[in-house]
């Protein structure tokens, strides 16, 4: 029997009742919240990226690998609308990795660290004994912004479902150079009251499904409103690409209609924000296609354990 990542996460979460006072947000959101003392919380996320899975070092550079490792964690900060504070990085090197290669990796890490003001404060380097592959883990700390941190679990029936940017085809290149939506998340949260948010890592359907499950809601998506990337447009199945390719690292969020109107009115970023559907009380995800037909939508995005 093999589990999906979501099943494993649910199992881990069920093992333990974390004290809600001390850990207001725990396993199953983009970051865990830890109350350090009265009035002060930190947020933490961890992600391991593997050569051959999250990038392919036969084609991608080490700068790109370092940048992506940081950007994935920065995207988790964006998903909760919290402020990145510092990162620590751990790398496992294949035999024969040299100083020159580490410097390239470091350049990529620092590119993201500098751009998003999230310094590298510590790390750990270890080496495989044989021909195993390069792996990199980033753990990132964040602090709350002026807004409350935004969880996955707050979506309400009637909410507008929105995404930033365009979706699909990230595997063709964007996944190595995407901009984590840290600044946009802050901007959105400062304009409007957002009820639920997540970053699209495994695919629109998979990540929307997480919001629905944790908010105990359903969702109705309008296929024609989904903003397709150029890469998705050129693909054989543009809609399928936008729904399930994953690694878009765009924001997926829900908010009441009046809050959505407020957001659109004040939104002056060049990055589009698009309403793609509505949160429902049906308990299931559905999609309305161009011909008006309503279909059930299954989470079928990229599963790291797939």
Cβ 6 to a copy of itself, closest distance in Å? Answer: 10
Q: Which two tokens stand for residue 213?
A: 């499950």
Number of residues that this document lists for the chain? 306
Q: Is 141 exposed, middle or buried (0-12, 13-18, 19+ CB in 10 A)?
A: buried
Identify which range of 38-46, 172-180, 183-191, 260-268 contacts a copy of itself by CB under 8 A.
38-46
Chain-centroid distance of CA 132 in Å reads: 27
The b/e string for 189-205 (b: 16+ C-beta within 10 A; e otherwise) is bebbebbbbbbbbbbbb
Q: Give the nearer residue to a copy of itself in terms of CB position, either 72 or 192.
A: 72
Identify which range of 19-27, 58-66, 218-226, 251-259 contacts a copy of itself by CB under 8 A.
19-27
Cβ 158 to a copy of itself, closest distance in Å? Answer: 30
Cβ 79 to a copy of itself, closest distance in Å? Answer: 13
Chain-centroid distance of CA 38 in Å reads: 29
Q: Give the nearer residue to a copy of itself in terms of CB position, either 97 or 267.
A: 97
The mark string for 130-169 relative to a copy of itself (x by CB under 8 A, - otherwise) is x-xx-x-x-x-x-x--------------------------
Q: Does 190 bind a copy of itself (CB under 8 A)?
A: no
Identify which range of 31-39, 151-159, 170-178, 209-217 contacts a copy of itself by CB under 8 A.
31-39
Restricting to residues 58-117, which ones interact with a copy of itself according to CB under 8 A? 85-86, 88-93, 96-100, 102-103, 106, 110
Beta 40-50 vs 82-93: how paired, if at all?
unpaired
Three-state secondary-structure class, residue 234? helix
- CB of 173 within 8 A of CB of 248? no
Q: Does 42 bind a copy of itself (CB under 8 A)?
A: yes
Cβ 114 to a copy of itself, closest distance in Å? Answer: 10
Closest CA to 209 of 293, 276, 301: 301
How far is the first Cα of the chain from the last one, in angstroms, to the nearest whole number?
Answer: 12
Cβ 95 to a copy of itself, closest distance in Å? Answer: 10
| DSSP label at residue 6 | H
Alpha carbons within 13 angstroms on the beta-carbon side of residue 171 total 15
Cβ 276 to a copy of itself, closest distance in Å? Answer: 27
Which residues, 6 or more positions from 203, have their beta carbon under 8 angstroms from its beta carbon? 243, 244, 245, 246, 248, 299, 300, 301, 302
Q: Which positions touch a copy of itself (CB under 8 A)?
A: 1-3, 5, 8-9, 11-12, 15-16, 18, 23, 26-27, 29, 31-32, 34, 36-37, 40, 42, 44-50, 52-54, 85-86, 88-93, 96-100, 102-103, 106, 110, 119-130, 132-133, 135, 137, 139, 141, 143, 304-305
């Amino acid at each position: 029997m093999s589990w999906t990542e979501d099943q494993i996460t649910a199992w881990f979460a069920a093992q333990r009742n974390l004290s809600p006072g001390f850990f207001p947000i725990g396993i199953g959101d983009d970051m865990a919240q830890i109350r350090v003392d009265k009035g002060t919380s930190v947020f933490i996320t961890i992600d391991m990226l593997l050569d051959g899975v999250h990038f392919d070092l036969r084609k991608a550079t080490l700068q790109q690998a370092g940048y992506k490792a940081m950007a994935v964690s920065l995207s988790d900060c964006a998903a909760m609308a919290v402020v990145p504070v510092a990162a620590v990085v751990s790398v496992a090197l294949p035999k024969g990795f040299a100083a020159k290669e580490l410097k390239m990796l470091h350049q990529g890490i620092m590119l993201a660290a500098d751009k998003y003001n999230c310094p590298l404060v510590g790390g750990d380097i270890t080496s495989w004994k044989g021909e195993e592959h390069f792996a990199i883990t980033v753990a990132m700390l964040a602090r709350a912004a002026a807004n409350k941190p935004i969880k996955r679990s707050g979506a309400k029936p009637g909410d507008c479902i929105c995404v930033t940017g365009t979706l699909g085809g990230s595997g063709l290149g964007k996944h190595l150079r995407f901009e984590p939506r840290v600044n946009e998340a802050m901007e959105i949260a400062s304009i409007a009251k957002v009820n639920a948010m997540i970053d699209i890592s495994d695919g629109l359907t998979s990540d929307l499904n997480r919001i629905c499950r944790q908010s105990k809601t359903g969702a109705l998506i309008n296929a024609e409103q989904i903003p397709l990337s150029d890469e998705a447009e050129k693909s054989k199945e543009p809609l399928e690409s936008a729904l399930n390719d994953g690694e878009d690292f765009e924001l997926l969020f829900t908010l009441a209609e009046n809050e959505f109107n407020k957001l659109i009115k004040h939104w002056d970023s060049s990055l589009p924000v698009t309403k793609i559907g509505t949160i429902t009380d049906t308990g299931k995800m559905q999609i309305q296609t161009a011909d008006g037909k309503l279909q059930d939508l299954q989470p079928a995005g990229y599963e790291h354990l797939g």
